[in-house]
């Protein structure tokens, strides 16, 4: 197992490597990450949404089943390699603190990766899920609509705070994945925090690029403007704060100061 200080060294090298990617490489890896997260979302819908009896009699267990399936996406991102916006919210911070990288490099990466993640999530929503009618029938369609309606019904501040909680745990999952040295250790280290944030109902902007557009494609009474203003913007802002302020900043400050 890597210590926190050893983990920061790995994080620093990861961030430096990301800055060196070409635009095309960054976009392709970002597309893949958006798709992987969407696959996790689809699996969660199929398992939890396909168990209406459990949801009716034990809603906590249904939420756990949903959360237990979702981490597939982040596990794929880490083990096979991809660029995920929410993870990158934390990766660059330690190097910026020690001036090994400029903030502009981070913002460039965030912009490209966010766009690529969106395209990847939308591809899985439209081509892989909508065109194949995987969730167009009962009981799955009810789950799709329920998720989207819930995510677009909260006040801005509530969604923002839920975004903070989501990416705080996502970035801790990535940090734990770096600490683990074996593939099985990485999978378990990633699975637990991601399962937790999904089960608790927090807001992950990249996952929502799949869940809510899918519901719109399937006929939910939600507009694209509602999706962006009521969920995507506050969730994204919360994700940035959760990753940068609550993971990248404290761990960079505590363990990365000598890495200048």
Q: What is the pLDDT of residue 56?
A: 87
Taking the CB of residue 19, how many other CB atoms lie within 10 A of it?
A: 17
Q: Whole-angstrom Cα distance, residue 163 to residue 185? A: 26
pTM attached to this predicted model: 0.96
pLDDT digits over 142-187, tens only?
999 999 999 999 999 999 999 999 999 999 999 999 999 999 999 9
Residue 260 has pLDDT above 50, yes or no: no
Whether 260 is covered by a domain: the verdict is no
pLDDT digits over 74-109, tens only?
999 999 999 999 999 999 999 999 999 999 999 999
Q: Residue 226 belongs to a domain with what CATH number?
A: 1.20.1080.10
**Distances in whole angstroms, Cα of residue 247 to Cα of each of 58, 89, 243, 251:** 33, 9, 5, 6
Whether 68 is covered by a domain: the verdict is yes
Residue 88 C-alpha from the chain's centroid: 10
Whether 259 is covered by a domain: the verdict is no
Taking the CB of residue 75, how many other CB atoms lie within 10 A of it?
A: 21
Q: What is the pLDDT of residue 43?
A: 98
pLDDT digits over 4-39, tens only?
999 999 999 999 999 999 999 999 999 999 999 999
Residues sharing a CB contact under 8 Å with residue 62, sequence separation 6 or more, in sequence order: 48, 51, 54, 55
Q: Whole-angstrom Cα distance, residue 47 to residue 204? A: 19
> Domain tally for the chain?
1
Greater confidence (127 vs 1) lies with: 127
| Structure tokens belonging to residue 24 | 């095309």
Mean pLDDT of the residues in the chain = 96
Whether 175 is covered by a domain: the verdict is yes
Whether 34 is covered by a domain: the verdict is yes
Whether 126 is covered by a domain: the verdict is yes
Residues sharing a CB contact under 8 Å with residue 251, sequence separation 6 or more, in sequence order: 4, 7, 8, 11, 94, 175
Residue 70 has pLDDT above 60, yes or no: yes
Whether 21 is covered by a domain: the verdict is yes
Whether 39 is covered by a domain: the verdict is yes
Is residue 179 a contact partner of residue 1, using CB atoms and an 8 Å limit?
Answer: yes
Residue 257 is classified by DSSP as G
Percent of the chain, pLDDT > 90? Answer: 96
Structural domain for 72, as ranges: 4-254
Residue 214 has pLDDT above 80, yes or no: yes
């Amino acid at each position: 197992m890597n210590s926190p200080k050893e983990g920061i060294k790995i994080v620093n090298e990861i961030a430096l490597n990301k800055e060196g990617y070409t635009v095309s490489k960054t976009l392709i890896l970002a597309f893949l990450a958006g798709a992987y997260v969407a696959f996790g979302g689809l699996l969660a819908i199929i398992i939890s949404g396909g168990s209406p009896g459990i949801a009716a009699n034990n809603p906590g267990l249904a939420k756990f089943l949903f959360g237990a399936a979702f981490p597939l996406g982040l596990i794929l991102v880490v083990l096979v390699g991809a660029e995920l916006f929410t993870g990158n919210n934390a990766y660059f911070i330690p190097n910026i603190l020690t001036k090994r990288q400029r903030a502009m490099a981070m913002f460039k990466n965030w912009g490209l990766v966010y766009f690529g993640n969106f395209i990847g999530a939308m591809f899985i929503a439209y081509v892989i899920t909508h065109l194949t009618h995987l969730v167009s029938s009962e009981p799955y369609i009810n789950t799709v609509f329920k998720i989207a309606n819930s995510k677009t019904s909260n006040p801005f501040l509530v969604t923002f705070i839920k975004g903070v909680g989501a990416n705080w745990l996502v970035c801790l999952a990535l940090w734990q994945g770096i600490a683990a040295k074996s593939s099985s250790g990485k999978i378990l280290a990633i699975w637990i925090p991601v399962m937790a944030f999904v089960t608790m109902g927090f807001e992950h902007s990249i996952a929502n690029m799949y869940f809510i557009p899918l519901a719109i494609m399937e006929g939910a009474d939600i507009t694209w403007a509602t999706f962006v203003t009521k969920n995507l913007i506050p969730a994204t802002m919360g994700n940035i704060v959760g990753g940068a302020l609550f993971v990248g900043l404290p761990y960079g400050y505590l363990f990365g100061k000598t890495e200048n």
